[in-house]
Amino acid sequence: MAGTLYLCATPIGNLEDMTLRVLEILKTSDVIAAEDTRNTRKLLNHFAIQTPMTSYHEHNKAVKGPQLVERLRKGEQIALVTDAGMPGISDPGADLVRLCYAADIPVTVAPGASAAVAALVLSGLDTRRFVFEGFLPAEKKERRMTLEMLKKEHRTMIFYEAPHRLIETLDELETIFGAKRQMAVVRELTKKFEEVRRGTLEELRVHFSKQPPRGEFVLLAAGYTLEQQKKAEMESWEEISIEAHMQRYLSQGMSEKDAMKQTAKDRGVSKREIYSYLHKG
């Protein structure tokens, strides 16, 4: 019978966050597939785990993935770990999972720490609906296009960012999302110098321009609210005359009465004001 691939979450900082189930899986698996064997070796040494390791990362996944699947076919049990947190999130673990499903190999998960979710609940932003974007594209044009598409996203947005790119990313976010968009920047989760800094994009950019960024960062941006949308729509309508505004609806076959009503609604005024303006002469 085929073995099972175990997706094992590991601590994102504090080693006390390791679960008992993950410890047992790491001890009893035939091999541990690790994103960085040197990093995982420290974790295994801390818990006195001697299970052999093999590397599985972005640069060798095309070759190593099929090799791991073959070992699973032969009945081996494999534990997959990333450097920190849940494998398959912003790492090549997802590719291995797809290979396993294509080969009818069982996959299960031993959940635990996840930087995205931990940062979200610490942020103070809306947690009811959110979207995880991971690391933004490295190429500048593609990154800007991605942010432009997210500009009017209503859900809380979660990004990962490296310290050396933090200021540049905050600059781009401020340019596209606006200086007053609410944000939270969370760094060094579960570690000694854990920090949650909240404020507008402008305030956070200024702060980190003065305080050199250090550590691992999660950025959270508040979603584009209905109030912001209504305000933007009203401002766009104010750029055209009332006559032109009315004409848009009349040309769609609306009656004058209905066009007047909709124009008033768009502009946030009463129908009487629109009527008075149109019949002032």
Q: If we measure between CA atoms, which residue out of 185, 178, 176 comes closest to residue 144?
A: 176
Least confident range of 58-67, 89-98, 173-182, 237-246: 237-246
Alpha helices in 74-200 (DSSP H): 93-102, 115-123, 140-150, 166-177
Cα–Cα dist 13/219, whole Å: 17
pLDDT for the residue 262 = 85
Asked if 82 and 10 touch (Cβ cutoff 8 Å), the reply is yes
pLDDT for the residue 240 = 78
Is residue 155 classed exposed, middle or buried when 0-12, 13-18 and 19+ CB atoms within 10 A define those classes?
middle
- Tell me the pLDDT tens digit for each residue of 99-154: 999 999 999 999 999 999 999 999 999 999 999 999 999 899 999 999 999 999 99
- Tell me the pLDDT tens digit for each residue of 27-61: 999 999 999 999 999 999 999 999 999 999 999 99
Average pLDDT for residues 237-249, to the nearest whole number? 79
